[in-house]
Amino acid sequence: MTTQDPREPRADAARNRAHLLAVAQRTFTAGGPETSMRAIARQAGVGIGTLYRHFPTREALVEALYRDQVDRLTTSADELLADVAPAEALRRWMDLYGEWIAGKHGMLDTLRVMVESGSLPHTETRAAILSAISTILDAGAVAGDLRSDVTATEVSAALIGLFTVGQQAGGTIRTDRLLDVLLDGLRPPRP
């Protein structure tokens, strides 16, 4: 007979939690700040009690979703580099970053309160994201695929600006096109 570590969730509980987080991401993205816990439960096909057993408050759900997304975003750098060349890895990572930004739309008010209260480690998140960008930039510099004179902070600032303008333009600006232009600017100059 095997015993399970009491801190580790059962496999089905972990799957259910992951499902709820994925549905919450989509629902917050589509519904905006007015998204209710009831709407998330309905979209997930579960009762509201099930959602509250996993996430007792909206803040608990937002925090779990935020941390899950940051973890996925930061670990994806190495995963992408294992599959594709650094420039392509960076471009795919930019898309993931854009999804992360879009998903935060419905949670902004809650996130802002949580960051201001100190319950979300904004500084740690920024450092983790910059580290992921640096990982890709460094691999690209070694491969000759990306410029070596651009910092992760500069790329992060460009992405934040690009996605902010894209959201404010209400869909009239194609962010995928702007990401391609940004990536072209990150390639080394041709002789």
In the structure encoding, which two tokens stand for residue 70, read together?
Answer: 């940051």
Model confidence band, residue 23 (pLDDT cutoffs 50, 70, 90):
very high
Please give the Cα distance from 44 to 46 (Å, whole number): 6
Using a pLDDT cut of 90, give the percent of the chain over it: 48
Do 26 and 82 belong together in one domain?
A: no
Q: For the residues of 67-111, what is the DSSP string, one character each? A: HHHHHHHHHHHHHHHHHS-HHHHHHHHHHHHHHHHHHHGGGHHHH
Query: Are 28 and 71 contained in the same domain?
Result: no
Positive/negative CA dihedral, 31, 35, 37, 39: negative
**Residue 191 within a domain:** no
pTM of the model as a whole? 0.78
Maximum average pLDDT range among 42-56, 103-117, 157-171: 42-56
Query: pLDDT, tens digit, for every residue of 120-175?
Result: 777 888 899 999 999 999 999 999 999 999 999 999 999 988 888 776 666 667 88
Domain assignment of residue 2, yes or no:
no
130 vs 128: CA distance, rounded Å: 5
- Assess if residue 5 is contained within a domain: no
Residue-level pLDDT at 1? 47
User: CA 162 to CA 173: how far, in whole Å?
Assistant: 10
> What does each C-alpha distance from 23 to 35, 39, 61, 98, 153 come to in angstroms?
12, 10, 11, 18, 31
Indicate whether 4 belongs to any domain.
no
Q: Are residues 114 and 167 in the same domain?
A: yes
Whether 64 is in a domain gets the answer yes
The count of structural domains within the chain is 2
Residue 177 lies inside a defined structural domain of this protein:
yes
Backbone φ and ψ for 144, nearest 5 degrees, come out as: 75, 15
pLDDT, residue 27, reads 86
Residue 31 · residue 20 · CB < 8 Å: no
Is the domain of 175 the same as that of 152?
yes
List the one residue out of 93, 116, 95, 112 whose CA is nearest residue 104.
112
Same domain, 78 and 162: yes
**Which amino acid, 46?**
V
Q: How far is CA 188 from the centre of its chain?
A: 27
The CATH number of the domain holding residue 48 is 1.10.10
DSSP state of 32: G
CATH of residue 76's domain is 1.10.357.10
Could you tell me if 47 and 113 lie in one domain?
no
Within 10 Å of residue 177's Cβ, how many Cβ atoms? 10
30: containing domain: 10-56
